[in-house]
A = this chain, B = another copy of it.
Amino acid sequence: MKFALIGCGRIGSMHADNIAANPRATLVSVYDVFGERATGVAARHSCKIAGSVEEILSDDAVEAVLIASPTDTHADLLEAAAKAGKAVFCEKPIDLDLDRVNQCAAAIAACEVPIQIGFNRRFDPGHRAARQALEAGKIGELHQVIITSRDPEIPPRAYLETAGGLFRDMTIHDFDLARFMLGEEPEEVFAIAAPLGDPELGAALDEIDTAMIILRTASGKMCHINNSRSAVYGYDQRVELLGDSGMVISGNRRPHEARLYTATQAETAQPYFRFFIERYREAYIAELEAFIDAVEQGVPCEVGFEDGRRALMLAEAAYRSLQSGAMVKVEEAGP
């Protein structure tokens, strides 16, 4: 499958490497508004540098477009690529504004191209094995989901200013993971949050860095999400499923398995992987595989546009709960 990549920053560059390393995929062209970024990726993988997005979308050799540009360009690019008949893999979130997402949904409604949203965590081997254990009946009927999702540090102020807020930027992954694990839609959301990690920055930006959330589905299943941007011990990514006949926990991976024992400590491992590129390496590879599978087989992508939209609806509900201090219904206002 012939891919073009739009956006050659850190995550775009990683996707380029994964495409290049995949025997079923080829990277044919790349584009970035900052030309030098594209140059590096193109040189590394001997592919074309497109002069514009249009050049990519009008190139018949391009079968699939991977969108890894800044968030505020996602919806436009996704629309354009879908209308150009390309299969689309778009990084999360679709947009920070639910109205814009709904418009986008309407705009592409007639397009029959496969669309996948970059909710990589569904493809993490550990998280996936947890879900499979549930599906295989190994823990019985699901009662509770607990998601721990913590970043190792607060991002730079410039990033935070355009990131759309903790729930739309970071928790959006956890909302998707919650839906994936719960197997039914959360109907209600409760949230508390505060800038505990950096109160000053929080006050300046009206931003939060620490949160606790509870979701409830129609059948009464419960999900807790806790977020922090102060996990100095590394990117902390855990999912726990409690069922009536068992539990499964997908835990953190360590860079290696050496452990130290001295007169004052035992079993000391090194800190967890620092961040997502390392921690979710296998997940990024697997989501690409799944995308290629879906496109080749002509079936819907496992995690599509509607999943991106619903995760954002949960983020919106969480913000409303912060305001009201109460559990709120997820609003079903659709596209």
Query: What are 20 residue pairs bridging A and B, where the CB atoms are less than 8 Å apart in the complex?
Result: A21-B21, A129-B256, A129-B258, A139-B262, A146-B148, A150-B242, A192-B222, A194-B222, A212-B214, A212-B222, A228-B242, A234-B266, A246-B261, A247-B261, A259-B267, A266-B268, A266-B270, A266-B272, A268-B269, A326-B326
Question: Is A245's CB under 8 angstroms from B262's CB?
Answer: yes
Select the residue from A236, A246, A263, A269 with max chain B CB neighbours within 10 A: A246
Question: Is A124's CB under 8 angstroms from B256's CB?
Answer: yes
Query: Given A264-B271, A268-B267, are A143 and B230 neighbors across the interface (CB < 8 Å)?
Result: yes
Q: Which B residues touch A220, using CB under 8 A?
A: 194, 196
A125 to B258, CA, bound (A): 8
A252 to B271, CA, bound (A): 17
With an 8 A cutoff between CB atoms, is A2 at the interface?
no
Question: Is A138's CB under 8 angstroms from B260's CB?
Answer: yes
- How would residues 229 to 248 of chain A score, 1 for a CB under 8 Å from any chain B CB and 0 otherwise? 01111101000001111111
- How would residues 93 to 119 of chain A score, 1 for a CB under 8 Å from any chain B CB and 0 otherwise? 000000000000000000000000000
Question: Is A244's CB under 8 angstroms from B232's CB?
Answer: yes
